[in-house]
Amino acid sequence: MELIDGNKIAADIIAELKTQVAALPGRPPCLALVRVGEDPASVSYVKKKEAASATIGITSRLIYPPVTITQDELFALIDGLNADPGVDGILVQSPLPKHINEVAVFRRIAAHKDVDGFHTMNLGKLAQEDDTGFVACTPAGIMELLQRSGVTLAGQHVVVLGRSLIVGKPAALLAVQRKTWANATVTICHSQTANLPALTRQADILIAAIGKAEFVTADMVKPGAVVIDVGVNRVADPSKKSGYRLTGDVHFPTVSPLCRKITPVPGGVGPMTVAMLMQNTVKARRQNG
Protein backbone atom coordinates (compact mmCIF):
# COMPACT_ATOMS: atom_id res chain seq x y z
CA MET A 1 0.00 0.00 0.00
CA GLU A 2 1.19 3.46 -0.90
CA LEU A 3 -0.13 6.70 0.55
CA ILE A 4 -0.93 9.46 -1.94
CA ASP A 5 0.52 12.62 -0.40
CA GLY A 6 -1.91 15.43 -1.21
CA ASN A 7 0.03 17.95 0.85
CA LYS A 8 3.19 17.37 -1.22
CA ILE A 9 1.42 17.38 -4.61
CA ALA A 10 -0.59 20.51 -3.70
CA ALA A 11 2.60 22.27 -2.53
CA ASP A 12 4.25 21.48 -5.90
CA ILE A 13 1.26 23.01 -7.76
CA ILE A 14 1.25 26.08 -5.52
CA ALA A 15 4.97 26.61 -6.20
CA GLU A 16 4.29 26.33 -9.96
CA LEU A 17 1.46 28.86 -9.71
CA LYS A 18 3.61 31.29 -7.72
CA THR A 19 6.14 31.33 -10.59
CA GLN A 20 3.32 31.83 -13.13
CA VAL A 21 1.75 34.69 -11.16
CA ALA A 22 5.10 36.48 -10.83
CA ALA A 23 5.37 36.44 -14.64
CA LEU A 24 1.83 37.76 -15.29
CA PRO A 25 1.61 41.27 -16.75
CA GLY A 26 -0.45 43.93 -14.95
CA ARG A 27 -2.07 43.58 -11.55
CA PRO A 28 -2.07 40.27 -9.64
CA PRO A 29 -5.13 38.00 -9.80
CA CYS A 30 -7.86 38.84 -7.29
CA LEU A 31 -10.16 36.29 -5.61
CA ALA A 32 -13.28 37.30 -3.65
CA LEU A 33 -14.05 34.83 -0.84
CA VAL A 34 -17.60 35.06 0.47
CA ARG A 35 -18.40 33.18 3.68
CA VAL A 36 -21.91 33.47 5.10
CA GLY A 37 -22.03 33.03 8.88
CA GLU A 38 -19.52 31.25 11.11
CA ASP A 39 -19.83 27.54 10.28
CA PRO A 40 -16.58 26.18 11.84
CA ALA A 41 -15.64 24.00 8.85
CA SER A 42 -16.25 26.93 6.47
CA VAL A 43 -14.16 29.25 8.66
CA SER A 44 -11.28 26.76 8.45
CA TYR A 45 -11.62 26.17 4.67
CA VAL A 46 -11.78 29.88 3.82
CA LYS A 47 -8.68 30.54 5.97
CA LYS A 48 -6.79 27.93 3.95
CA LYS A 49 -7.91 29.56 0.69
CA GLU A 50 -6.82 32.96 1.97
CA ALA A 51 -3.41 31.64 3.07
CA ALA A 52 -2.76 29.88 -0.25
CA SER A 53 -3.68 33.08 -2.14
CA ALA A 54 -1.15 35.05 -0.08
CA THR A 55 1.60 32.47 -0.74
CA ILE A 56 1.05 32.59 -4.50
CA GLY A 57 0.64 36.36 -4.81
CA ILE A 58 -3.11 36.34 -5.44
CA THR A 59 -4.96 39.20 -3.77
CA SER A 60 -7.90 37.96 -1.72
CA ARG A 61 -10.95 39.99 -0.81
CA LEU A 62 -12.73 38.61 2.25
CA ILE A 63 -16.46 39.20 2.64
CA TYR A 64 -18.12 37.69 5.69
CA PRO A 65 -21.84 38.57 5.79
CA PRO A 66 -23.84 37.39 8.83
CA VAL A 67 -25.92 34.20 8.72
CA THR A 68 -29.04 36.42 8.67
CA ILE A 69 -28.26 37.89 5.21
CA THR A 70 -31.22 37.45 2.86
CA GLN A 71 -30.94 35.81 -0.53
CA ASP A 72 -31.61 39.15 -2.25
CA GLU A 73 -28.89 40.84 -0.22
CA LEU A 74 -26.46 38.07 -1.15
CA PHE A 75 -27.46 38.44 -4.81
CA ALA A 76 -26.75 42.19 -4.58
CA LEU A 77 -23.35 41.47 -3.05
CA ILE A 78 -22.53 39.04 -5.90
CA ASP A 79 -23.80 41.50 -8.53
CA GLY A 80 -21.34 44.06 -7.16
CA LEU A 81 -18.43 41.60 -7.42
CA ASN A 82 -19.55 40.55 -10.93
CA ALA A 83 -19.42 44.19 -12.06
CA ASP A 84 -16.07 44.93 -10.39
CA PRO A 85 -13.24 44.81 -12.98
CA GLY A 86 -10.74 44.36 -10.13
CA VAL A 87 -12.19 40.95 -9.18
CA ASP A 88 -11.24 37.90 -11.30
CA GLY A 89 -12.76 35.06 -9.29
CA ILE A 90 -15.70 34.75 -6.89
CA LEU A 91 -16.22 31.91 -4.42
CA VAL A 92 -19.24 31.57 -2.16
CA GLN A 93 -18.39 28.92 0.42
CA SER A 94 -20.88 26.05 0.70
CA PRO A 95 -22.95 25.12 2.68
CA LEU A 96 -25.21 28.18 2.85
CA PRO A 97 -27.97 28.67 5.46
CA LYS A 98 -31.24 26.87 4.72
CA HIS A 99 -33.15 30.05 3.77
CA ILE A 100 -30.84 30.59 0.77
CA ASN A 101 -31.11 28.61 -2.46
CA GLU A 102 -27.54 27.49 -3.03
CA VAL A 103 -27.87 26.67 -6.73
CA ALA A 104 -29.51 30.06 -7.37
CA VAL A 105 -26.48 31.68 -5.72
CA PHE A 106 -24.04 29.64 -7.83
CA ARG A 107 -25.93 30.73 -10.95
CA ARG A 108 -25.83 34.39 -9.93
CA ILE A 109 -22.02 34.46 -10.12
CA ALA A 110 -20.85 35.57 -13.57
CA ALA A 111 -19.77 32.40 -15.40
CA HIS A 112 -16.39 33.93 -16.34
CA LYS A 113 -15.66 34.58 -12.62
CA ASP A 114 -17.05 31.25 -11.38
CA VAL A 115 -13.78 29.69 -10.15
CA ASP A 116 -15.79 27.01 -8.29
CA GLY A 117 -17.23 25.72 -11.57
CA PHE A 118 -20.77 25.31 -10.20
CA HIS A 119 -22.51 27.67 -12.66
CA THR A 120 -24.78 26.09 -15.29
CA MET A 121 -22.48 27.39 -18.04
CA ASN A 122 -19.36 25.80 -16.57
CA LEU A 123 -21.07 22.47 -15.85
CA GLY A 124 -22.34 22.58 -19.46
CA LYS A 125 -18.84 23.25 -20.75
CA LEU A 126 -17.57 20.32 -18.68
CA ALA A 127 -20.16 18.05 -20.32
CA GLN A 128 -19.14 19.43 -23.74
CA GLU A 129 -15.41 19.04 -22.93
CA ASP A 130 -14.89 22.76 -23.63
CA ASP A 131 -11.70 23.58 -21.74
CA THR A 132 -12.43 27.33 -21.56
CA GLY A 133 -14.77 26.61 -18.64
CA PHE A 134 -13.93 26.20 -14.96
CA VAL A 135 -13.95 22.69 -13.48
CA ALA A 136 -15.07 22.25 -9.85
CA CYS A 137 -11.99 22.26 -7.63
CA THR A 138 -12.34 18.98 -5.71
CA PRO A 139 -12.96 16.80 -8.80
CA ALA A 140 -10.17 18.62 -10.68
CA GLY A 141 -7.90 18.00 -7.69
CA ILE A 142 -8.75 14.29 -7.68
CA MET A 143 -7.79 13.95 -11.37
CA GLU A 144 -4.55 15.86 -10.75
CA LEU A 145 -3.71 13.64 -7.75
CA LEU A 146 -4.27 10.49 -9.81
CA GLN A 147 -2.19 11.78 -12.73
CA ARG A 148 0.68 12.96 -10.59
CA SER A 149 0.67 9.64 -8.68
CA GLY A 150 1.03 7.67 -11.91
CA VAL A 151 -2.47 6.16 -11.83
CA THR A 152 -3.83 5.51 -15.34
CA LEU A 153 -7.59 5.90 -15.77
CA ALA A 154 -7.92 4.80 -19.40
CA GLY A 155 -10.00 1.65 -19.68
CA GLN A 156 -10.25 1.34 -15.90
CA HIS A 157 -13.49 1.11 -13.95
CA VAL A 158 -13.92 4.23 -11.83
CA VAL A 159 -16.73 3.97 -9.29
CA VAL A 160 -17.87 7.30 -7.85
CA LEU A 161 -19.71 6.99 -4.56
CA GLY A 162 -21.85 10.14 -4.27
CA ARG A 163 -23.78 12.30 -6.76
CA SER A 164 -23.32 15.82 -5.45
CA LEU A 165 -22.95 18.87 -7.68
CA ILE A 166 -19.71 19.74 -5.89
CA VAL A 167 -17.93 16.38 -6.21
CA GLY A 168 -19.70 13.25 -7.46
CA LYS A 169 -21.27 14.43 -10.72
CA PRO A 170 -18.35 16.53 -11.99
CA ALA A 171 -15.84 13.82 -10.96
CA ALA A 172 -17.74 11.29 -13.10
CA LEU A 173 -17.89 13.73 -16.04
CA LEU A 174 -14.13 14.30 -15.82
CA ALA A 175 -13.15 10.64 -15.55
CA VAL A 176 -15.18 9.76 -18.65
CA GLN A 177 -13.76 12.55 -20.87
CA ARG A 178 -12.14 11.71 -24.18
CA LYS A 179 -8.72 12.69 -22.90
CA THR A 180 -5.55 10.62 -22.65
CA TRP A 181 -5.52 11.21 -18.87
CA ALA A 182 -9.19 10.10 -18.55
CA ASN A 183 -11.06 7.63 -20.82
CA ALA A 184 -12.33 5.65 -17.80
CA THR A 185 -15.48 3.55 -17.57
CA VAL A 186 -17.59 5.22 -14.88
CA THR A 187 -20.31 4.09 -12.50
CA ILE A 188 -22.01 6.54 -10.13
CA CYS A 189 -23.45 5.03 -6.94
CA HIS A 190 -25.46 6.81 -4.23
CA SER A 191 -27.71 6.28 -1.23
CA GLN A 192 -30.46 4.70 -3.36
CA THR A 193 -28.19 2.26 -5.20
CA ALA A 194 -29.14 -1.40 -4.78
CA ASN A 195 -26.40 -3.86 -3.94
CA LEU A 196 -23.81 -1.14 -3.41
CA PRO A 197 -20.91 -3.32 -2.17
CA ALA A 198 -21.15 -5.50 -5.29
CA LEU A 199 -20.60 -2.38 -7.42
CA THR A 200 -17.88 -0.74 -5.35
CA ARG A 201 -16.01 -4.09 -5.32
CA GLN A 202 -15.71 -3.78 -9.11
CA ALA A 203 -13.84 -0.49 -8.86
CA ASP A 204 -10.24 -0.26 -10.02
CA ILE A 205 -10.42 3.31 -8.73
CA LEU A 206 -12.97 4.12 -6.01
CA ILE A 207 -13.83 7.76 -5.32
CA ALA A 208 -15.68 7.99 -1.99
CA ALA A 209 -17.67 11.23 -1.71
CA ILE A 210 -20.80 10.21 0.16
CA GLY A 211 -20.32 12.34 3.28
CA LYS A 212 -20.71 9.52 5.80
CA ALA A 213 -17.88 8.84 8.23
CA GLU A 214 -16.02 5.56 7.57
CA PHE A 215 -18.83 4.29 5.31
CA VAL A 216 -16.53 2.31 3.01
CA THR A 217 -15.41 -0.91 4.70
CA ALA A 218 -12.98 -3.62 3.60
CA ASP A 219 -15.73 -5.85 2.14
CA MET A 220 -16.58 -3.04 -0.33
CA VAL A 221 -13.11 -2.75 -1.86
CA LYS A 222 -11.32 -4.93 -4.41
CA PRO A 223 -7.77 -5.86 -3.35
CA GLY A 224 -5.32 -3.74 -5.35
CA ALA A 225 -7.76 -0.86 -5.89
CA VAL A 226 -6.83 2.82 -5.76
CA VAL A 227 -9.05 4.58 -3.20
CA ILE A 228 -9.63 8.34 -3.15
CA ASP A 229 -11.29 9.48 0.08
CA VAL A 230 -13.07 12.81 -0.36
CA GLY A 231 -14.86 12.76 3.00
CA VAL A 232 -14.08 15.23 5.75
CA ASN A 233 -16.20 14.21 8.74
CA ARG A 234 -15.93 15.44 12.29
CA VAL A 235 -16.37 12.58 14.74
CA ALA A 236 -16.62 13.22 18.50
CA ASP A 237 -13.40 12.22 20.26
CA PRO A 238 -13.08 13.25 23.92
CA SER A 239 -9.35 12.34 23.89
CA LYS A 240 -8.66 15.29 21.53
CA LYS A 241 -8.28 18.86 22.72
CA SER A 242 -10.75 20.03 20.05
CA GLY A 243 -13.24 17.34 21.16
CA TYR A 244 -13.33 15.78 17.69
CA ARG A 245 -11.20 14.02 15.11
CA LEU A 246 -11.37 14.25 11.33
CA THR A 247 -12.11 11.11 9.42
CA GLY A 248 -12.89 10.29 5.82
CA ASP A 249 -15.67 8.35 4.12
CA VAL A 250 -13.38 5.31 4.20
CA HIS A 251 -12.61 3.15 7.24
CA PHE A 252 -8.87 3.66 6.81
CA PRO A 253 -7.49 1.05 9.26
CA THR A 254 -9.18 -1.90 7.55
CA VAL A 255 -9.32 -0.64 3.94
CA SER A 256 -5.82 0.78 3.51
CA PRO A 257 -3.95 -2.59 3.75
CA LEU A 258 -5.97 -3.83 0.75
CA CYS A 259 -5.20 -0.88 -1.52
CA ARG A 260 -2.59 -0.28 -4.17
CA LYS A 261 -2.80 3.41 -3.26
CA ILE A 262 -5.02 5.44 -0.95
CA THR A 263 -5.38 9.09 0.10
CA PRO A 264 -5.29 9.92 3.82
CA VAL A 265 -7.72 12.28 5.62
CA PRO A 266 -6.52 14.89 6.30
CA GLY A 267 -3.67 15.45 3.81
CA GLY A 268 -5.18 13.82 0.72
CA VAL A 269 -7.84 15.50 -1.41
CA GLY A 270 -8.35 18.59 0.82
CA PRO A 271 -5.15 20.46 -0.04
CA MET A 272 -5.76 19.70 -3.74
CA THR A 273 -9.13 21.49 -3.66
CA VAL A 274 -7.34 24.63 -2.52
CA ALA A 275 -4.58 24.24 -5.15
CA MET A 276 -7.16 23.87 -7.95
CA LEU A 277 -9.04 26.96 -6.75
CA MET A 278 -5.78 28.87 -7.06
CA GLN A 279 -5.23 27.43 -10.55
CA ASN A 280 -8.75 28.46 -11.60
CA THR A 281 -8.18 31.98 -10.25
CA VAL A 282 -4.98 32.36 -12.30
CA LYS A 283 -6.89 31.04 -15.33
CA ALA A 284 -9.66 33.60 -14.70
CA ARG A 285 -7.09 36.42 -14.54
CA ARG A 286 -5.57 35.26 -17.86
CA GLN A 287 -8.96 34.89 -19.59
CA ASN A 288 -10.54 38.08 -18.23
CA GLY A 289 -7.51 40.35 -18.34
Nearest distance, CB of residue 178 and ligand GUN, angstroms: 25
Give me the DSSP letters along 226-267: EEEE---EEEE-TTSTTSEEEE-SB-HHHHGGG-SEE--SSS
Among residues 144, 123, 109, the alpha carbon closest in space to that of 31 is found at 109
Contact track, ligand GUN, 148-167, x by CB under 6 A: ------------------x-
Residue nearest to ligand GUN (CB): 94
The answer to whether the CB of 37 falls within 8 A of the CB of 79 is no
Q: Which of 4, 90, 105, 137 binds ligand GUN (CB under 6 A)?
A: 137
Whether residue 41 contacts residue 95, with contact meaning beta carbons closer than 8 Å, is answered with no
Query: Any contact of residue 116 with ligand GUN (CB under 6 A)?
Result: yes
Query: Could you give the CA distance from residue 99 to residue 76 in angstroms, rounded to a whole number?
Result: 16
Piece in contact with ligand GUN (CB under 6 A), picked from 18-26, 70-78, 91-99, 241-249? 91-99
Q: Scanning residues 158 to 217, which ones bind ligand GUN (CB under 6 A)?
A: 166
Catalytic residue among 5, 88, 114, 116: 116
Number of residues that bind ligand GUN (CB under 6 A): 9
Q: Work out which of 93, 256, 263, 281 binds ligand GUN, going by CB under 6 A.
A: 93
3-class secondary structure, 31: strand
Q: Is 93 a catalytic residue?
A: yes
What is the Cα–Cα distance from 197 to 102, expressed in whole angstroms?
A: 32
Active site residue 49: yes
Indicate if 116 belongs to the active site: yes
First vs last C-alpha separation in the chain: 45
Q: What is the smallest separation between the CB atom of 63 and ligand GUN, expressed in angstroms?
A: 13
Nearer to ligand GUN, 42 or 147 (CB): 42
User: Rounded to an integer, what distance in angstroms lies between the CA atom of residue 36 and that of residue 92?
Assistant: 8
Nearest residue (CB) to ligand GUN, 206 versus 277 = 277
Instruction: State which residue, 35 or 157, has the beta carbon closest to ligand GUN.
Output: 35
Closer residue to ligand GUN (CB): 91 or 158: 91
Kindly state whether residue 229 participates in binding ligand GUN, applying the rule CB under 6 A.
Answer: no
Q: 21-80: which residues touch ligand GUN (CB under 6 A)?
A: none
Q: Are 152 and 158 in contact (CB under 8 A)?
A: no
Is residue 138 within the footprint of ligand GUN (CB under 6 A)?
yes
Classify residue 81 as exposed, middle or buried by CB count within 10 Å of its CB (0-12, 13-18, 19+).
buried
Number of helical (H) and strand (E) elements in the chain, helices listed first: 10, 11
Q: Which residues are the active-site residues?
A: 49, 93, 116
Q: Which residues bind ligand GUN (CB under 6 A)?
A: 91-94, 116, 137-138, 166, 273
